[in-house]
Amino acid sequence: NGGPRGGGRPRRVGIMGGTFDPIHHGHLVAASEVAHFFHLDEVVFVPTGNPWQKDPAHVAPAEDRYLMTVIATAENPQFGVSRAEVDREGPTYTIDTLREMRQVYGPDVDLFFITGADALGAILSWRNVDEFFDLAHFVGCTRPGHRLADPGLPEGKVSLVEVPALSISSTECRERVRKGEPIWYLVPDGIVRYINKTGLYLDDAMAGRAHR
Ligand code: ATP
Ligand code: MG
């Protein structure tokens, strides 16, 4: 399991990290596009536990974000969800997740870390960036409102791809819920229903969050 299959090519696994607060169609289209054009066998969505870049008081509980990610991906046999970060104690670091994925899948699998243009721009500020590139190939996707420029990343370690532009952010979805505006068709139907059922994003503590 994890090694080269009958065809002789290594298994190709995408990793889509995110806060997913909530997951929306921008995430799903990016994952689907990269899966198709990079011939991935599967994409694993990894909701963050306690993202160190974001104020924990202003992020929905990890379990809700995990469940929404499961709901949004359940119908796609190529998509899965990992609890790696949700179950890990302390702040979330992507490098820890990549190390864990590398251990779970073994050395013979090709890992592709999928990220949007804004997150790609932040990569140079990440810890252990060289080890990061040793563990996975990096795929940066276009995102409306963010420039997808190559910020001098190592040769052959990063691919920049243009995905169909969906100008959707979780921040905007949360604000819409708070204001009583619809999020139908910005997120999967099941996510609208889950948010309505749980009352996520309605409380005052969630109000006034800056765009991230
Ligand atoms: P927030 O507004 O809370 O930051 P977000 O919409 O940016 O939420 P994240 O969970 O922060 O969603 O993003 C997870 C990953 O998905 C990041 O790599 C991000 O760049 C990418 N991404 C998010 N939205 C889009 C989109 N509309 N198109 C392409 N990539 C996206
Ligand atoms: Mg974001």
What number is the ipTM of this complex? 0.99
Pocket test for ligand 1, best of 29, 143, 206 (most atoms within 8 A of CB): 143
CA 116 to ligand 1: nearest atom: 20
Q: Which two tokens stand for residue 23?
A: 């997951």
Instruction: State if residue 178 touches ligand 1 by the CB under 6 angstroms criterion.
Output: no
Element (H, E) at 66: helix 62-73
Q: What is the pLDDT of residue 58?
A: 86
Instruction: State if residue 21 touches ligand 1 by the CB under 6 angstroms criterion.
Output: yes
Q: What is the pLDDT of residues 156-204, one digit of tens each?
A: 888 999 999 999 999 999 999 999 999 999 999 999 999 999 999 997 5
Q: What is the pLDDT along the chain (212 residues), one digit of tens a residue?
A: 444 455 689 999 999 999 999 999 999 999 999 999 999 999 999 999 876 677 777 899 999 999 999 999 999 999 999 999 999 888 878 888 999 999 999 999 999 999 998 888 777 567 678 888 899 999 999 999 988 776 677 778 889 999 999 999 999 999 999 999 999 999 999 999 999 999 999 975 444 443 33
Q: What is the pLDDT of residue 210?
A: 39
User: What is the number of the ligand closest to the CA of 48?
Assistant: 1
For residue 151, the SS3 value is coil
CA 48 to ligand 1: nearest atom: 10
Sign (positive/negative) of CA torsion 141, 146, 148, 150? negative
Q: Which residues of 75-96 are buried (b: 16+ CB within 10 A; e: fewer)?
A: eeeebbbbebbbebeeebbbeb
The whole-model pTM stands at 0.91
Nearest CA to ligand 1 atom 6: 169
Nearest CA to ligand 1 atom 21: 116
Mention the CATH class of domain 12-168: alpha beta
**β-bridge mates for residue 67, sequence order:** none
Phi, then psi, of 33 in degrees rounded to 5 = -65, -50
The residues spanned by each domain of the chain are 12-168
Instruction: State if residue 166 touches ligand 1 by the CB under 6 angstroms criterion.
Output: yes
Q: How far apart are CA 148 and CA 72, in angstroms?
A: 26
Instruction: State if residue 168 touches ligand 1 by the CB under 6 angstroms criterion.
Output: yes
Q: How far is the CA of 44 from the centre of ligand 2 (A)?
A: 18
